[in-house]
Amino acid sequence: MKIRNLLMSIAVAIAFTACSNEGNNPSDAEVSTDIINDPATASGEIDESELPVIEFEETVIDFGEISQGEKVKRIYTFTNSGKSDLIISDAKGSCGCTVPRWPKQPIKAGEQGDVEVVFDSNGKMGRQHKTVTLIANTKPNTTVIALKGDVLVPEK
């Protein structure tokens, strides 16, 4: 039993000392995520006129009235009116009931693409306003599109 306790103590001591490498390397520096969140280069120099530009035909679509439990699918068409390839890296709905699909391949300058948004009205009622935030290599790097309408609860 004493050997088991001794081995356990040694294992705990090794774990604490092995995992604590904070400050061991003087060249460690905090790296900012601004490079990821901003399409600028690591040097910070960028010609904004060369960036892609995402322009939607409509940024807000009203789906009208639907019955609770229905799913609504709408397509948002956009054009890359910039000078370089547009890359949408992520799209997030404002809640789990709003699910976006976006092109995973680059959209060349002058070309069009679509973002499909499906809203599930299950458990929802009344006026709804849901958003989808797109993250792309544009300036600014986020674009918001919205879906709104009324969910009617069937009479019992």
Pick the residue with more confidence: 121 or 29?
Answer: 121
Query: Which pLDDT belongs to residue 29?
Result: 43
Q: What is the CA radius of gyration of the chain?
A: 25
Fold of 49-152: Immunoglobulin-like (2.60.40)
Q: pLDDT tens across 20-76, in order?
A: 444 444 444 444 444 445 544 445 567 788 999 999 999 999 999 999 999 999 999
Q: Taking a C-beta distance cutoff of 8 angstroms, is the pair 51, 83 a contact?
A: yes
Q: Taking a C-beta distance cutoff of 8 angstroms, is the pair 150, 64 a contact?
A: yes
Local confidence band at 154 (pLDDT 50, 70, 90 cut-offs): confident
Q: Where are the domains positioned within the chain?
A: 49-152
pTM over 0.75: no
Contacts of residue 134, defined as CB under 8 A and 6 or more positions apart, other chains included, come to: 54, 88, 90, 91, 100, 102, 115, 142, 143, 144, 145
